[in-house]
A and B are shown apart, each in its own frame.
Chain A
Amino acid sequence: MSLELDVRCAGQHGFYLDVACRIPGQGVTALYGASGSGKSTLLDCIAGLREPDQNSRIHFRGEDWFSGGKGLPAWQRRIGYVFQDARLFSHLTVAGNLDFARRRAKGSQPLGQSRLVEILGLGDLLQQKPETLSAGQKQRVAIGRALCSGPQLLLLDEPLANLDHRASAECLSLLQELAQQLDLPMLYVSHDIEEVSQLADHLLLLENGKLQNQGSLLALSSRLDTNLAHEEQAAAILLGTISAQDDAFALTEVSVEGQTLQVNRLPLVIGAKRRLRIPARDVSICLEQPRQTSILNILPVTIVEIEACHGARLLLRLALGEQFLLARITRKSAERLSLAVGDNVFAQIKSVALLSEAGDTQ
């Protein structure tokens, strides 16, 4: 049960979208790419807000949404759409906006109305008009409104792009909570890899209207042959388990593949699973285990791949048990240490971000 796409669509200035893929019927799938890569165009074709070329095909859970040159109108597709600019109805109150969606619901609402209002923190806003709300509040109402229409697929087009840092973090953790609580596939368009790392399970990498790569976030984030690895922000995502709390030093220990990483203390229960994000630029390599260093997190790893980056840099892919780290070092250091694939080395990690909750640590 999934979304099958074979979409071609011409855009402006010779842009041409041509994507064929299958999107999992559960979890959060991020459409990631630079602006102009065609993510929003693809999303609008899926929603029925834009007509793709005649020979395109869009199929969702046994329904043809576009086939044989004909499309089901947007209002008959069982979708919810959260726009970048909220698009609340200004003549209705917050409650009126939610009711508008509920009266036209395409299916049962995944959460009860009161539970939804509670999670999104809309209780005090219900009688207000949209113009009195902050950008973050508007976006929360827009998310609530989309869910009230009982969608079977939630589409989100850069919903955090217009929000300030705080509102954006707040909205992101709400989306995480909803993604965990709801059995609702989401397609999330973004050009912000940090948002994507927090939220997505699957990743579609788009470039110039073409699908560059597709796969799980954890797998794709540690490969060297994607655009992701070559971005300034490149980072590996690992899965860890909270193993201990060190009250004396206010640190939390996270176990990854039998090794322990220490991060600033977070109020998490032992045994909780968390994603860790380790930026490639914050990982350096030592041939021997350094003893006198301020860096806490040093892991034994094996070099499995080396790839030239632009300019003076190299990208290394490091195996840590079944998972992988990325390191970005200079070519000069690599030569000085004569690094080669298969070497067992130590990775010094300067920063680890524990995802799914706000909190970075050195």
Chain B
Amino acid sequence: MDVIGLTAALAGTTTFILLLVGTPLAWWLATRNSNASALVESLVALPLVLPPTVLGFYLLLALAPDSPLGQLWQQLTGTRLAFSFSALVIGSVVYSLPFVVQPLQSAFQNLPAGMLQAAATLGANPLDQFRNVVFPMTRRSFVTAASLGFAHTVGEFGVVLMIGGNIPGETQVLSIALFDKVETLQFDEAHRLAIGLVAFSLALLFLIYRKNGPAAWRVRT
């Protein structure tokens, strides 16, 4: 798999998992106000403030072949977890979590008061309320959350370097490949990758901003 395809696969898989995990998490955070939820909220926001290397270091320990998670993975799949594509996905999910959870949480908190009560009195069960009231009313924030999650995963470097290494076709994503080209003084190649990343990120952010207005960037640290 080439570098771009691998990067897209990583970002796509990560974004998909983040939407599955992040939506209920954001809902829980938006509707609770306790010490427990404040702690969880802080944990979710940690990747925003920690150097990626700190995160990468602990992930490396957690995913190592002799760690409980590494051993379990070995038993279940027969393959090694560290320095694999799966390890990259796990690392990216943790690293990009706040970029998906925070826009969703903020959108859920800003839902007009009483909409769910109104839906309930009309006979909508909780799942129905979420699918047919909450989701349509916060659709734009889902687009924002997915775009930010995707873009941020494409742009990550430190965590990938720590837990993925630089294995072409397995863990060598764009940012790593760029680093590699610079290290080996292939500046033309480096230029192509760098300008590509800049163009892609700019285009994606432009789309988000144009659709939603500046208020969409609601990532809070």
A104 within 8 A of B: yes
- Least Cβ–Cβ distance between B129 and chain A, in angstroms: 8
Inter-subunit contact B136/A101 (CB<8 Å): no
Q: What distance in Å separates the Cβ of B212 from its nearest Cβ neighbour in chain A?
A: 15
Query: A75: which of B112, B114, B125, B132 is its contact (CB, 8 Å)?
Result: B125
Interfacial chain A residues near B128, Cβ < 8 Å: 75, 104
Alpha-carbon distance A106/B128, docked complex (angstroms): 15
In Å, the complex CA distance between A184 and B181 comes to 77
- Is there a chain B Cβ closer than 8 Å to A105's Cβ? yes
Q: A49 contacts which of B120, B129, B132 (Cβ < 8 Å)? A: B120
Ranked 5 nearest A-B pairs via Cβ: A104-B123, A81-B121, A87-B118, A74-B120, A91-B136
Given contacts A90-B112, A106-B123, 18 further A-B contacts (CB under 8 A): A49-B117, A49-B121, A74-B120, A75-B123, A75-B128, A76-B123, A77-B121, A81-B117, A85-B114, A87-B114, A89-B118, A89-B119, A91-B137, A100-B124, A100-B132, A145-B122, A149-B123, A155-B121
**How many residues of chain A have a CB within 8 Å of chain B?**
28
Classify the interface of chain B: helix, strand, loop or mixed: helix
Residues of B within 8 A of A90 (CB): 112, 137
A80 to B164, CA, bound (A): 57
B202 within 8 A of A: no
Residues of B contacting A94 in the complex (Cβ-Cβ under 8 angstroms)? none
How many angstroms between the C-alpha atoms of A105 and B121 in the bound complex? 10
* B141 nearest CB across to chain A (Å): 13
**B125, A87: Cβ atoms closer than 8 Å:** no
In the complex, residue of chain B having the shortest beta-carbon distance to the beta carbon of A47 = B121
**B residues neighboring A (CB under 8 Å):** 112, 114-115, 117-126, 128-129, 132-133, 136-137
The interface centre, meaning the residue of A85, A92, A100, A155 with most chain B CB atoms within 10 A of its CB, is A100
A125: shortest Cβ distance to chain B, in Å? 18
Query: Are A104's CB and B122's CB within 8 A?
Result: yes
Task: Answer whether residue A83 sits at the interface, using C-beta atoms and an 8 A cutoff.
Answer: yes
Of A73, A85, A100, A155, the contact of B122 (CB 8 Å cutoff) = A100
Q: Which residues of A contact B114 (CB under 8 A)?
A: 83, 85, 87
- How many Å lie between the Cα of A167 and that of B118 in the bound state? 22
A79: interface (CB < 8 Å): yes
